């Protein structure tokens, strides 16, 4: 009798435990179902040269499509206009002076080991994470493209369209280019050169800045990235967990290589060149650079210096190439959106798209990024998904570092207290009563031991250049300032004059200087 009662007790206990486990699993499932998927689209060197950003000459229907699905910020700025620092900043939600990444070589895991990445945090919240392409700067990320960020391995596919074979040096598909590059490579190898030395040997002799080849999307890297992303999407969906998928497109980074069909969308003779191709009046020379990134290409005069103009024909070719690359990426984004629609998961997916910085296309005689000017810091910044208004543009000055907390709030993920940014959700919804007190964005860029710090309001940009390796975690010293800039975007949108010493802007300069100083000393005063 006692044995029978004992066995009955055991059976009831087992049933209770099973029911409790089922209830716990159900609650966990319900909690997970409230968390949204995150499609995170990073586009290298992308400025807001898009039809939805007021450029009707651009053929970018899928950027338009995404804009209609959500909110586009028209006055968004990166924290540092070069890949390594910008990407370390957005991926950790912290400013460059906190990541201590100011170049293309530093890994934030070494310079700021207390920081965690956005996808790493999401893993701790029950997410499955993976990515393809350029999410971090490749030369400054830890093994596995920052392996801690991914629960499924990050991918850099090289399965080029077999009709064309592998791209030469991962860039070129034009048969003539490939033939010449193969010959140079063979000569370099005969000299015993390998790796980076071999690459340098070849590129010093032939490195075209553009290529217009009649090939498929999958003949170049970004077409492969889309292919891989679609496979990763299926794998993520199969886990049953909320997921984070990072898709990092390379173009429109140099060289400007894209399939011919995208070049054919534009008439080179009708392309508008930069209107202001001069150095701004009164601007310190340290604000400029001599676009060494572009001059590294074999068809660009390597002797050009600050203030020198490229020949008009080369300007048109480069701008044409940039536009073709943007349309190439637009087509890839369309494939991603199509996949989400086909799978019926758009309503459960937050989409964020961003450029890691802008790009000079001849303004101020500048090319590339590497400055504190508008064309280098301003980016497209777009959100869509549940909780986001439809077809809305906002001109609030915002920072790319704000992405981190914004995505977490939209995805119903508990906030990390790590971020230096702020959630933009009060601006994204349809409730006019919710807003944010944000009257400036901020960014920085270094020239040797001098760091230029800027704030950008809806009307002005004010910049201070501090000497002696100053950083914002050091004591602010006005005597350390070696240059200042003020631009008035309502009256002088092309930055033709530095107004900082003009008497009529004295009050403006005083106000903006106080804001910048407050920003630079904020952490010290907390």
137 annotated active-site = yes
Rounded distance, CA 246 to CA 324, Å?
Answer: 23
CATH topology of domain 448-525: Arylsulfatase, C-terminal domain (3.30.1120)
C-alpha 394: how far from its chain's center? Answer: 19
The dihedral sign for the CA sequence 350, 119, 150, 400 = positive
Going by pLDDT thresholds of 50, 70 and 90, the confidence category of residue 430 is: confident
Rounded Cα–Cα distance for residues 524 and 476 (Å):
10
> Do 36-159+237-413 and 448-525 fold alike per CATH?
no
SS3 188: helix
Question: Of 83, 253, 320, 325, which residue is the catalytic one?
Answer: 83
pLDDT of 118 above 60: yes
Distance CA 426, CA 299 (A): 48
Give the pLDDT band of residue 16 (cuts 50, 70, 90): very low
The answer on pLDDT for 2 being more than 60 is no
Token couple for 162: 């077999």
Residue 523 has a pLDDT of 65
Is-contact 260 215, C-beta < 8 A? yes
Q: Which of 316, 422, 395 is nearest to 48 (CA)?
A: 395
Give the active site residue among 12, 55, 77, 137: 137
pTM beyond 0.75: the answer is: yes
- What distance in Å separates the CA atoms of residue 396 and residue 407, rounded to the nearest whole number? 18
pLDDT surpasses 80 at 107: yes
Burial 35-64 (b: 16+ CB within 10 A, else e): bbbbbbbbbbbbbbbbbbbeeeebbbebbb
Chain centroid, CA 179 distance in Å = 34
Q: How confident is the model at residue 9, as a pLDDT?
A: 40
pLDDT in tens, 453-465: 999 999 999 999 9
How does the average pLDDT of the chain come out, rounded? Answer: 93
Measured between alpha carbons, how far is 386 from 399 in angstroms, rounded to an integer? Answer: 22
Is-contact 292 302, C-beta < 8 A?
A: no
Which residues are CB-contacts of 289 (< 8 A; sequence separation ≥ 6)?
306, 366, 368, 370, 371, 447
Whether 460 and 508 have beta carbons less than 8 Å apart is answered as: yes
Average pLDDT score over residue span 4-22: 40
Task: Note whether 423 and 387 are within 8 A (CB).
Answer: no
Helix intervals (H) in 125-164? 143-146
Q: Determine the pLDDT at residue 431.
A: 82
Residues pairing with 133 in the sheet: 248
Please state, for a pLDDT cut of 70, what percent of the chain lies above it. Answer: 93
User: Hey, what are 401's tokens?
Assistant: 């570092």
Task: Point out which residues pair with 55 in neighbouring strands.
Answer: none
Residue 3, pLDDT above cutoff 60: no
Using CB atoms within 10 Å of the CB of residue 244, give its burial: 0 to 12 exposed, 13 to 18 middle, 19+ buried.
buried
Give the per-residue pLDDT at 30: 39
Over residues 439-492, the pLDDT tens digits come to 999 999 999 999 999 999 999 999 999 999 999 999 999 999 999 999 999 999
pLDDT value of residue 264: 98
d(CA 297, CA 96): 29
Give the Cα separation of 382 and 92 in Å (integer): 19
pLDDT over 70 at 239, yes or no:
yes
- Please, which pLDDT band fits residue 4 given cuts at 50, 70 and 90? very low
Compare 115 and 436 and report the one with higher pLDDT: 115
470 torsion bin: left (phi>0), alpha (psi -120 to 50), beta (else): beta
Is residue 53 scored above 50 in pLDDT? Answer: yes
Residues 160-165, mean pLDDT to the nearest whole number: 98
Q: For residue 524, what pLDDT is reported?
A: 57
Domain 36-159+237-413, CATH among 3.90.1640.10, 3.40.720.10, 3.40.50.620, 3.40.50.12160: 3.40.720.10
In sequence order, the 6+-apart residues with CB closer than 8 A to the CB of 288 are 279, 306, 307, 364, 366, 371
8 Å CB contact between 350 and 39: yes
Strands 243-249 and 37-43: parallel
Average pLDDT over residues 193-201: 96
Query: What is the model's pLDDT at position 208?
Result: 98
Domain boundaries, the chain: 36-159+237-413, 448-525
- Predicted pLDDT at 21: 41
* Nearest one of 468, 465, 518, 512 to 489, comparing CA atoms: 512
Sign (positive/negative) of CA torsion 169, 82, 257, 279? Answer: negative
More confident residue, 9 or 426: 426
83 noted as active-site residue: yes
**Longest CA–CA separation in the chain, Å:** 102
Q: What are residue 213's DSSP bridge partners? A: 259
Strand, helix or coil at 130?
A: strand
- How confident is the model over 60-74, as pLDDT tens digits? 999 999 999 999 999
| pLDDT band of 434, cuts 50, 70, 90 | confident
pLDDT digits (tens, 9 = 90+) for 350-381: 999 999 999 999 999 999 999 999 999 999 99
């Amino acid at each position: 009798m006692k044995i029978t009662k004992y066995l009955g007790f055991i059976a009831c206990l087992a049933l209770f435990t099973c029911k409790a486990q089922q209830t716990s699993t159900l609650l966990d499932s319900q909690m997970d179902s409230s968390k949204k998927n995150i499609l995170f689209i990073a586009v290298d060197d992308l400025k807001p040269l898009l039809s939805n950003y007021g450029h009707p000459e651009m053929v970018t229907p899928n950027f338009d499509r995404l804009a209609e699905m959500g909110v586009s910020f028209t006055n968004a700025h990166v924290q540092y206009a070069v890949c390594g620092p910008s990407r370390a900043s957005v991926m950790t939600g912290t400013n460059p002076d906190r990541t201590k990444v100011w170049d293309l070589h530093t890994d934030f895991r070494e310079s700021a080991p207390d920081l965690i990445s956005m996808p790493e945090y999401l893993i701790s919240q029950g997410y499955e994470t993976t990515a393809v392409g350029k999410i971090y700067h490749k030369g400054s990320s830890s093994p596995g493209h920052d392996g801690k960020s991914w629960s499924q391995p990050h991918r850099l596919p090289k399965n080029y369209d077999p009709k064309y074979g592998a791209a030469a040096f991962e860039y070129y598909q034009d048969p003539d280019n490939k033939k010449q590059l193969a010959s140079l490579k063979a000569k370099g190898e005969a000299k015993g050169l390998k790796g980076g030395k071999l690459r340098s040997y070849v590129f010093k002799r032939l490195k075209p800045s553009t290529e217009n080849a009649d090939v498929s999307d999958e003949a170049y890297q970004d077409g492969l990235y889309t292919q891989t992303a679609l496979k990763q999407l299926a794998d993520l969906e199969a886990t049953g967990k909320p997921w984070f998928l990072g898709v990092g497109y390379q173009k429109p980074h140099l060289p400007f290589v894209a399939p011919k069909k995208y070049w054919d969308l534009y008439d080179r003779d009708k392309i508008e060149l930069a209107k202001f191709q001069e150095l701004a009046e009164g601007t310190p020379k340290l604000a400029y650079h001599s676009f060494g990134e572009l001059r590294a290409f074999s068809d660009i005069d390597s002797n050009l210096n600050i203030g020198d103009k490229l020949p008009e024909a080369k300007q048109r070719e480069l701008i044409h190439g940039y536009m073709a690359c943007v349309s190439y990426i637009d087509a890839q984004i369309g494939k991603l959106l199509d996949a989400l629609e086909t799978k019926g998961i758009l309503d459960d997916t937050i989409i964020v798209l961003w450029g890691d910085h802008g790009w000079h296309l001849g303004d101020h005689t500048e090319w590339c990024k590497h400055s504190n000017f508008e064309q280098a810091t301003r980016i497209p910044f777009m959100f869509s998904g549940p909780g986001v208004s439809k077809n809305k543009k906002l001109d609030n000055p915002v920072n790319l570092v704000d992405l981190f907390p914004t995505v977490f709030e939209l995805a119903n993920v508990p906030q990390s207290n790590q971020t230096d940014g702020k959630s933009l959700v009060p601006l994204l919804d349809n409730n006019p009563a919710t807003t944010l007190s944000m009257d400036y964005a901020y960014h920085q860029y270094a020239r040797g031991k001098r760091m230029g710090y800027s704030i950008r309001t809806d009307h002005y940009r004010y910049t201070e250049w501090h000497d002696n390796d100053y950083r914002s975690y050091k004591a602010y010293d006005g005597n350390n300032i070696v240059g200042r800039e003020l631009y008035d975007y309502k009256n002088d949108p092309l930055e033709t004059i530095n107004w900082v010493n003009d008497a009529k802007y004295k009050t403006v300069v005083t106000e903006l200087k106080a804001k910048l100083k407050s920003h630079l000393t904020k952490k010290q005063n907390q």
